[in-house]
Structure 1
Amino acid sequence: MNLLLLFDEDFLPDGTARLTGRRAQHAREVLRAETGETLRVGRLGGLVGTGEVLENTPGALHLRVSLTDSPPARAAVDLLLAIPRPKALKKVLPAVASLGVDRVVLVNAARVEKSYFDSKVLAPDFIQELLLQGLEQARDTRLPEVLIRERFRPFVEDELDTVFGREPLRLLPHPPARQSLTTVGIPTAPRVVLAIGPDGGWVPFEAELLEAHGFHPFTLGPRILRVETAVPVLLGQVALLRENISPHSAP
């Protein structure tokens, strides 16, 4: 935990904050924070800064808070993600929160097991806890929005433009494609939507429907990656391409 996240209900009328539960336990047992020491803190949805420890007891952590800085810049990336295996989703959700994704739509697909929809991982409280873990790791305070859709075709045909808008560059990592990610215009795109299929990939009908709705297929190379590996790799490549618009862009 690289950042203690503070919620609105943590704040007392005098502006200090009082934490209990997992966060207070972490500060006491892992950080071994003592009175007078300063911890990194951030208010959920707001600024980051420091918290001076006023008291750290087995019952609570009491902080004098100073929030002065903005959280990290957003990635300007959204995900349309076929629901992966629950164990994989437990890894993917903290990762997308850590990497600054704004919106994730978890969608059904032909190769998604129906049983996945009954998993506790899709419960709102469980999703939020996983996202909070990602924010704590990355010293961020802004939660991604997560939507769940059980019908692929109706979402693509009826909701896609509303949820993601028409302006973002739509990208489809798909093994049969031949062009690489460097050829699809990422550096000039203000926003990007990545449509990442399940283990085994999108079936032809799904890939064709996505292409018909403006998604550009590309390949990551000859290696076939699991979803929990592909998501951070893709997000990292998008970020890298944006930082290196040209070989002469650095000062």
Structure 2
Amino acid sequence: MTRRRWIADAWTPTTATLTGEQAAHLARVLRAEPGQIFDVVAGGFLHRAEITNVGDGEVVFALHEELESDAALPLHLLLAVFKFDHMEWAIEKATELGVFRITPILARRTEKHLAQAAAKRVERWRRIALEASKQSRRTTIPEIADPVGLKQALDEEQSPTRILLSETEQGTTLSSALANAKTSTQESDTALAIGPEGGWTPEEMALFVQYQWQPVTLGPRILRAETAAIAAIAIVGSSIG
């Protein structure tokens, strides 16, 4: 039987602690008691762990042996901000698929009210990533960065393989670009940029080219941003995962 897995809110080399909603659910709903065994992620490592104390607002574990676990997909998703309900779905599914990091991008065609409200949504996006990480039994929670403008994000990007989904690109597929990248570099770190509804502006496309991003296509159909993100992540995962 698969043991429940928890992600520690705090830890030391030998202990892990759950607080807040996680601790309340474990203590009140599951009626946790000292001596029970669970899997606990602490500091990015998966352990078999034994409950030692169930207190007021916290559950403490003793960490036992470290267990084998899957690494995150070495993929940084640059996701232009779009309708929040669709954005949340994309973040949840990207987390389940193993993305290492997500940066919300304030693009030229991001609707003004969404751009203004994005900074206040980050904590919600991080909670969604946490819950999706637990549901998918990940050992790491993807970093959800604060929303930034495109130029700042491109200035800071260090991944050797940089892929831009572009509606104007017709010839180079994502699969072929990834295959070419494999022959030119031994590093697997990849950045993938997904535009907003309406796509990237010509000025933004020129900026991507300036920073040596490779425009690619997913095929002849026009996909919603969240659909394109999930399809692209799956393709990248099968190539570099």
Q: Structure 1 residue 186: deviation in Å?
A: 4.3
What residue is the counterpart of 2:61 in the other structure?
Answer: 63
What residue is the counterpart of 1:223 in the other structure?
Answer: 221
Aligned-partner Cα distance in 2 for 1:67–1:4: 15
Shift of the 116–56 alpha-carbon distance from structure 1 to 2, 3 Å rule, reads same
Shift of the 16–109 alpha-carbon distance from structure 1 to 2, 3 Å rule, reads closer
Per the normalisation by structure 1, the TM-score is 0.76
Partner SS, residue 102 of structure 1: strand
Aligned-partner Cα distance in 1 for 2:83–2:5: 28
What residue is the counterpart of 2:143 in the other structure?
Answer: 144
What residue is the counterpart of 1:246 in the other structure?
Answer: none
Q: Structure 1 residue 164: deviation in Å?
A: 1.3
Gapped regions of structure 1 (runs ≥ 5):
244-251
Q: 2:50 aligns with which of 39, 49, 52?
A: 52
Q: Structure 1 residue 240: deviation in Å?
A: 0.8
Aligned-partner Cα distance in 1 for 2:190–2:217: 16
Q: What one-letter code is carried by the residue in structure 1 that aligns with 2:91?
A: L
8 A contact 2:44–2:139 mirrored in 1:
no
Q: Structure 1 residue 172: deviation in Å?
A: 1.3
Deviations 1:132-184, CA, capped at 9 Å, x for gaps: 223223322244251421x43x43xxx624x212x511111112322212221
Shift of the 70–199 alpha-carbon distance from structure 1 to 2, 3 Å rule, reads farther
Q: 1:168 aligns with which of 160, 177, 189?
A: 160
What residue is the counterpart of 2:78 in the other structure?
Answer: 80
What residue is the counterpart of 2:190 in the other structure?
Answer: 192
Partner SS, residue 233 of structure 2: helix
8 A contact 1:33–1:56 mirrored in 2:
yes
**Does 1:3 pair with 2:5?**
yes
Aligned-partner Cα distance in 2 for 1:131–1:67: 26
Q: Structure 1 residue 237: deviation in Å?
A: 0.3
Alignment of 1:1-251 (within 5 A): 3-8=5-10, 15-28=14-27, 33=32, 35-43=34-42, 45-54=43-52, 60-66=58-64, 68-69=66-67, 71-119=69-117, 122-138=120-136, 139-149=138-148, 151-152=149-150, 154-155=151-152, 160-161=154-155, 163-165=156-158, 168-178=160-170, 179-184=172-177, 185-188=180-183, 189=185, 190-242=188-240
Aligned-partner Cα distance in 1 for 2:209–2:199: 14
How many residues are treated as equivalent by the alignment?
A: 232
Aligned-partner Cα distance in 2 for 1:124–1:34: 35
Aligned-partner Cα distance in 1 for 2:144–2:118: 18
Per the normalisation by structure 2, the TM-score is 0.79
Q: What one-letter code is carried by the residue in structure 1 that aligns with 2:222?
A: I
Q: What one-letter code is carried by the residue in structure 2 that aligns with 1:176?
A: T
Gapped regions of structure 2 (runs ≥ 5):
none
Aligned-partner Cα distance in 1 for 2:33–2:108: 53
Q: What one-letter code is carried by the residue in structure 2 that aligns with 1:24?
A: A
8 A contact 1:35–1:55 mirrored in 2:
yes
Shift of the 35–2 alpha-carbon distance from structure 1 to 2, 3 Å rule, reads closer
Aligned-partner Cα distance in 1 for 2:120–2:25: 26
